[in-house]
Amino acid sequence: MSDVPTLYKYMPFRKEFFDNFYLRCTPRSALNDPFELRPSDQYMNDHSWDLLAQREMSPETEFSEELLDFNGGFLEKAFNKIGIVSFSETNDNLLMWSHYGDNHRGMVVAFDTSHDFFIKDGSKSRQLGRVHYRKDRMKALPQRLKNGFHMSDSTRIYFEKSDEWIYEKEHRLMSDLYAADATLCTFEYYNKRLRHKHRGYEPEAVTDKLVSINDIENKCHDASDPEVLCMLKVPPECILSVICGANMPDEQKQEVREYTQRLGISFLEAVPDADEYKLKFRQAE
């Protein structure tokens, strides 16, 4: 369970969220920071020693091009299998509202982190953690002992970012992309990568750009491709409130108000403060 009781998700207005409660579990290829999950050379060295320990090789084993290539391939497969859902400790950051809340036209959803959805689930490689901000890229990892080896805690790389992002106060849920509750892809991706494998199958259109590939067996899609959207379904009972952005059109605010009333969720509106550069939140009238 998180050490923060409530986490917030900034997002554009998506009325379908209140029907399916899907949040995207984003692969590395679709994250907006080019340093995400791209380790330093020292990290790669540490991880190689970790692999040596797991394969019960001796500390005297020499590194070879083959071993380094194997390690690089191992990490690449691991990174391509895991996705991230980002949350924040704060609901009133002006930059976050601009960057992720559609220039204050979107919304912020508050979640109760004590709910089982956020608790680590080993069967799905699911883990919630606070992001640690650093000036330098991670070079050496925290160590633990196994069979005489110092083995690295390889999950830490998922929770490290440059300190330039510190204003986000991010917590992230990492999860196996192939354990998603629903998988969508673009029409282009389906026609290019999957249609020839499933002749006669016509995927269900979800939007004018996306189709559902939930019914396709054997997980033949590449979940690391940015055109594939792996979605986690959030239980509505862990949603505490929804805040509408200061620039959200009145018609959409009314839609959100109706959804929240139907679900028994608190509804708030963000309002610019009259004197300071900050937002106030008020109950809907």
Write the pLDDT tens digit of every residue in 212-240. 998 887 667 899 999 999 999 999 999 99
pLDDT at 122: 53
**What per-residue confidence (pLDDT) applies to 145?**
54
Q: Cite the DSSP H helix spans in the chain.
A: 17-20, 41-54, 65-81, 94-100, 187-189, 250-263
Tell me what pLDDT residue 85 has.
97
Task: Note the pLDDT of residue 149.
Answer: 53
The predicted structure's pLDDT at residue 284: 67
Residue 30 confidence (pLDDT): 93
Q: What is the mean pLDDT of the chain?
A: 86
- Per-residue confidence (pLDDT) for residue 155, from 0 to 100: 79
Residue 205 banded pLDDT, cuts 50, 70, 90: very high
CB 244 within 8 A of CB 256: yes
Task: Give pLDDT, residue 232.
Answer: 95
| pLDDT > 70 in the chain, percent | 81
How much is the pLDDT for 244?
98
Q: What is the pLDDT of residues 97-139, one digit of tens each?
A: 999 999 999 999 999 999 989 886 655 568 899 999 999 887 7
Residue scoring higher pLDDT (167 or 153) = 167
- Model confidence over 129-157: pLDDT tens digits? 999 999 988 776 656 555 555 555 667 88
CA atoms within 13 A on the CB side of 61: 18
CA separation for the pair 206, 222 (Å, rounded): 19
Instruction: Judge whether 248 and 105 are in contact, CB under 8 Å.
Output: yes
With contact defined as beta carbons under 8 Å apart, do 171 and 131 qualify?
yes
- Whether the CB-CB separation of 158 and 174 falls below 8 Å is answered with yes
Beta strands in 77-223 (DSSP E): 82-88, 107-112, 127-130, 132-134, 143-146, 149-152, 160-162, 170-176, 182-186, 204-205, 210-212
pLDDT digits (tens, 9 = 90+) for 50-88: 666 655 555 555 555 555 565 667 777 888 899 999 999
Tokens read off for 110: 């508050």
Q: What is the pTM (predicted TM-score) of this model?
A: 0.87
The rounded distance, in Å, linking the Cα atoms of 227 and 128 is 25
CB 130 within 8 A of CB 171: yes
Q: What pLDDT is attached to residue 50? A: 65
Closest CA to 233 of 25, 82, 6: 25
- Laid out side by side, the sheet with 6-11 consists of 127-130, 170-176, 82-88, 6-11, 107-112, 239-244, 266-272, 279-283
Q: What is the pLDDT of residue 119?
A: 80
